[in-house]
Amino acid sequence: MTFLELKDLRIHFPTDDGLVKSVDGLSYSLERGKTLGIVGESGSGKSVTSLGILGLHKGGPAKISGEIWLDGEELVSASAEHVRTLRGKKMAMIFQDPLSAMHPFYTVGAQIIEAYRIHHNVSKKVARKHAIDMLDRVGIPQPDRRVDSYPHEFSGGMRQRAMIAMALSCDPELLIADEPTTALDVTVQAQILDLMRDLQRDFNAALIIITHDLGVVAELSDDILVMYAGKAIEYGTAEDIFERPEHPYTWGLLGSMPRLDRERTERLVPIKGTPPSLINVPQGCAFHPRCAYEDRTGGKSTTEVPALLESEGGHLVRCHLPRDVRRAVWENEIKPNLEAS
Amino acid sequence: MVTYIIRRLIWAAAMLTIVSIVTFAIFFLVPRLAGATPESLATRYVGRTANAEQVKIAAEKLGFYDPLVVQYGRFAKGIVAGSEYDYGPGVEQCPAPCFGYSFLTRLPVWPDLLDRVPVTMSLALGAAVIWVLAGVATGVVSALRRGSFFDRAAMTVALGGVSLPIFFTGMASLVVFSYGYPFEITAPGGSFTPFFENPVDWAYSLILPWITLAFLYAAGYARLTRAGMLETMNEDYIRTARAKGLAERTVVLKHGLRGALTPILTIFGLDVGLLLGGAVLTESTYSLPGMGKYAIDAINSQDLPKVMGVVLFAAFFVVVANLIVDLLYAVVDPRVRLS
């Protein structure tokens, strides 16, 4: 049995301006001990998906359909109260900005103790001991003293460590990290990523990393899902995505990724245009207004929504370009430019 | 933390000094600038029947011929250390804090003021408890059910509460509840009963003023709480609290309300401080012998020492309330401690 499986998940928000299709028919699966990287620009629906899994998408009258199977339980149809008891215990989340994600008026220890005691019927003293252990585990020096510090007394990296300690305090089986390193210095980013890799191995949790930075997922992920306008447009192993990417959008992401091995004179190639409004998603392929190869689809990309089809060995791509054309473009036009150094 | 407290204490003392200077200036400098002579000022102290000679003697004894700085020094010394009044046949000791003697009753102002404190304190603190509970609860529910019937109804009532003056709501409540129709909840004897004399009568005598006063303030607090809650419930840390698996009730009260409480606390301290100096309208409407009523009566009878005493005493409460709020701030918001 698959540990986590999403089937055709849709999360739509009715607004005054129209229906916002934040997540529009998303499917993926993840096993314990494995890491899935979800990549996309702001507004591609990557965060909403994860909030949906935790049952936290309800910022209003959101409509959710499809299925979320977690360890044999279906969550979309489960009662809100039942999902609440799973939150924190079975599935936990690490947020982007640990300063705003932690309550400024409570000590770090108090917040970890609270998280632990929701799901464990223990005294404050025992929970405090556990909180100190967790802080020690994530590499915070002098945890028995820092446990009584407030979040603003921590540095950014330490705060994110504390946030991770809080998320892991109940030993969750599914851990979702939403842009865990975006708010941090580059040097600290690497430390946090290392920490997450170590902890995942120790806890044998399934890990989902949400990011707009391909560099982050390259380090950690087994599988990678690329999202655009609420849909998956490419989904495969990390090797598939980095060695044999087939979607023009993924090429764009790779091209706009800073790399140390590239020549300094060479410029980054940004993806032209801006992400589409989720109320007025472009007709046909949502990416076509920004796509450089749109003219090679024979006009199909402006009229027909492409299906997510298997290219080879579980590598899924949502593109009208024929497979051979995609591969040829990658091999001959894109890859040489990326590797030119 | 200790330096913070010391700094605030010094500031409070400076503030009170400034208030005393301003008060003194209003009653002694401004009339002089407007053309009043020491004699015309002294007239108020000796009554209308005195002749010019008597007025002159009084002005001399009261020190009105001295420079204003000296006069202020004497005034300030009276408050801090007490003073002596030479009234002719003998010398009267006026122990500190001395605000002088009432023109009307010839009694020292200070003990008179102290008598009024329990009344105003009972009124202000009782009303404060009611308005905080009612206002905050309404605000929280309104914020959580934004746009609902409850929200709209509550905010409409709150708008009414803020806009309707005490002399309207107070009179209306008297009409409805006090003349035996439809039911009567006025005080026995129609006036104030001290708490330690009879707690039941005490509450009974204050219930209408409490509600009237609380209605005015609760309205503002409901709106303030609602706005604060709408803001904090959108904070990231609320999402974190939910992600931990906390029950919604705990999320709202422990994380949401706690975050929205700081500005409410600030306003609360200032409001209570201000009210302790006298709830003029409420006390007048219900004939409660508190500081506000005292001030109004003093002004109406042009009883200068009384007015000065009540102004300074009220300022004292405001400054103390400010001080307490500042100190509480550091307790409520741990981020304040560093600065």
The answer to whether the Cβ–Cβ distance between B243 and A104 falls below 8 Å is no
Selecting from B244, B255, B335 the residue whose C-beta is nearest the C-beta of A152 gives B335
Count of CB atoms within 10 A of residue A328's CB? 12
Q: Which helix (H) or strand (E) element contains residue A110?
A: helix A108-119
pLDDT at res. B180: 59
Nearest CA in chain B to A87: B245
Show residues of chain A in contact with B335, CB under 8 Å.
Answer: 104, 150, 152
Nearest CA in chain A to B260: A105
Show residues of chain B in contact with A166, CB under 8 Å.
Answer: 240, 244
Specify the pairing of strand A18-30 against strand A4-15: antiparallel
Q: In 3D, which of B315, B248, B244 has the Cα closest to residue B277?
A: B315
Nearest CA in chain A to B236: A101
Top-confidence residue, B306 or B195: B306
pLDDT at res. B188: 47
> Which residues in B have their CB inside 8 Å of a CB on A?
235-237, 239-247, 255, 258-259, 332-335, 338
Q: In 3D, which of A231, A254, A241 has the Cα closest to residue A318?
A: A231
Minimal C-alpha gap between A258 and chain B (Å) = 30
pLDDT digits (tens, 9 = 90+) for B199-254: 888 887 888 889 889 999 999 999 999 999 999 999 999 999 999 999 999 999 99
Gyration radius from chain A CA atoms: 21
Minimal C-alpha gap between B335 and chain A (Å) = 7
The answer to whether the Cβ–Cβ distance between B242 and A87 falls below 8 Å is yes
Show residues of chain A in contact with B336, CB under 8 Å.
Answer: none
Specify the pairing of strand A174-178 against strand A206-211: parallel
The answer to whether the Cβ–Cβ distance between A103 and B240 falls below 8 Å is yes
DSSP A33: T
Integer Cα distance of B23 and B312 in angstroms: 8
* Residue A276, amino acid: P
pLDDT at A341 over 50: no
Q: In 3D, which of A56, A41, A155, A48 has the Cα closest to residue A98?
A: A155
Show residues of chain A in contact with B244, CB under 8 Å.
Answer: 87-88, 92, 114-115, 118, 166
pLDDT digits (tens, 9 = 90+) for A59-73: 567 889 999 999 999
Selecting from A95, A97, A104 the residue whose C-beta is nearest the C-beta of B335 gives A104
Q: How far is CA A103 from CA A56, A106, A151, B25, B274, in A?
A: 18, 6, 8, 49, 32
pLDDT digits (tens, 9 = 90+) for A117-147: 999 999 999 999 999 999 998 989 999 999 9
Integer Cα distance of B119 and B117 in angstroms: 5
The answer to whether the Cβ–Cβ distance between A104 and B236 falls below 8 Å is no
Scanning chain B, the segments in alpha helix (DSSP H) are 2-24, 30-33, 38-46, 52-62, 68-81, 109-144, 149-163, 166-177, 199-232, 236-243, 248-250, 258-276, 280-285, 291-300, 304-332
The answer to whether the Cβ–Cβ distance between B335 and A92 falls below 8 Å is no
Q: In 3D, which of B203, B173, B180 has the Cα closest to residue B286?
A: B173
pLDDT at res. A177: 92
Minimal C-alpha gap between B234 and chain A (Å) = 9
Segment B30-34 long-range contacts (CB within 8 Å, at least 24 positions apart): B32/B68
Q: Is A60 on the interface with B (CB under 8 A)?
A: no
Q: What is the distance in angstroms between the CA of the first residue and the CA of the last residue of chain A?
A: 45
Cis status, amide bond into B97, omega within 30 of 0: yes
ipTM value of the model? 0.87
Integer Cα distance of A317 and A234 in angstroms: 4
The answer to whether the Cβ–Cβ distance between A88 and B244 falls below 8 Å is yes
Integer Cα distance of A259 and A236 in angstroms: 22
Selecting from B235, B244, B255 the residue whose C-beta is nearest the C-beta of A118 gives B244
Average pLDDT over residues A314-320: 92
pLDDT at A259 over 70: no
- Split at pLDDT 50, 70, 90, the class of A263 is low
pLDDT at A260 over 80: no
Nearest CA in chain B to A111: B241
Q: State chain B's mean pLDDT as an integer.
A: 85
Distance, CA of B15 to chain centre:
16
- Maximum pairwise Cα distance, chain B: 86
Both tokens of B36, joined, read 């009043």
Nearest CA in chain A to B259: A105
Minimal C-alpha gap between A18 and chain B (Å) = 20
3-state secondary structure labels for all residues of A124-145:
HHHHHHHHHHHHHHCCCCCHHH
Q: Is A105 on the interface with B (CB under 8 A)?
A: yes
Average pLDDT over residues A252-266: 68
Q: Is A101 on the interface with B (CB under 8 A)?
A: yes
Q: In 3D, which of A198, A157, A196, A151 has the Cα closest to residue A175?
A: A196
Q: What is the distance in angstroms between the CA of the first residue and the CA of the last residue of chain B?
A: 9
- Cβ atoms of B120 and B279 within 8 Å: the answer is yes
Within a 13 Å sphere around the CA of B281, how many CA atoms are in the beta-carbon half? 13
On the 0-12 / 13-18 / 19+ scale of CB atoms within 10 A, B31 is middle
pLDDT at B117 over 60: yes
Show residues of chain B in contact with A154, CB under 8 Å.
Answer: none
Minimal C-alpha gap between A336 and chain B (Å) = 43
Distance, CA of B188 to chain centre:
26
Least confident of A214-223, A286-295, B39-48: B39-48
DSSP A106: S
Nearest CA in chain B to A107: B334
pLDDT digits (tens, 9 = 90+) for A149-188: 999 999 988 999 999 999 999 989 999 999 888 878 888 8
Contacts of A331 (CB under 8 A, 6+ apart): none
The answer to whether the Cβ–Cβ distance between B245 and A88 falls below 8 Å is yes
Nearest CA in chain B to A103: B237
- Split at pLDDT 50, 70, 90, the class of A197 is confident
Q: State chain A's mean pLDDT as an integer.
A: 88
Integer Cα distance of A151 and A163 in angstroms: 10
